[in-house]
Every structure is written in C-alpha cells, then in structure tokens.
Amino acid sequence: MTPQELEAVRARLETFAAEMFSGFARADQRRWGERYVRGLLTDGARKSMEPMAARLGVDRQGLQQFCT
C-alpha cells in the first residue's frame, strides 16, 4: 500500500489492531502491534525491521522488541 492508501484506511486499521491486540496488557505493546501491521502493509520489497522502521519513521528497536 502507498502512504496515501494507508492513510485512507487508517481508521479501519486502528480498529482492527485494537481488536487484534486487545489481549496485550500494556498500551505500548498494543501501539507497537499497530505499527508493525502498518509496516507489513506498506510498499517495500523488504519486510525486515530496519526497512519497515525507516518507512514508518519509528525506532527499529521498538519493532524488534515487539516481535520478540
């Protein structure tokens, strides 16, 4: 998805992520979960942490910690 396409569905994505990660105890875990899903949906050949974090403009370590 392009950034424009992602922005168009942002509310639906946030609702989906809220439901998906509602079982996580901490708010930061839920927030990183939503960012990770957004990273998977964005255009880009590589879906590893560094390229996803760069596309999202977030800290790579936060995404990595979420996944582990």
10 Å CB burial of residue 6 (0-12, 13-18, 19+) is: middle
Q: How far apart are CA 40 and CA 8, in angstroms?
A: 16
pLDDT tens digits, one per residue of 7-66: 899 999 999 999 999 999 999 999 999 999 999 988 887 888 999 999 899 999 999 999
Question: Cα 60 from chain centroid?
Answer: 11
pTM of the full structure: 0.84
Interior/surface letters 32-46, b for 16+ CB within 10 angstroms, e for the rest: bbbbbebbeebeeee
Stated length of the chain: 68
Count of domains for the chain? 1
Question: What is the band of 3 on the pLDDT scale with cuts at 50, 70, 90?
Answer: confident
Question: The tokens of 23 are what?
Answer: 């079982």
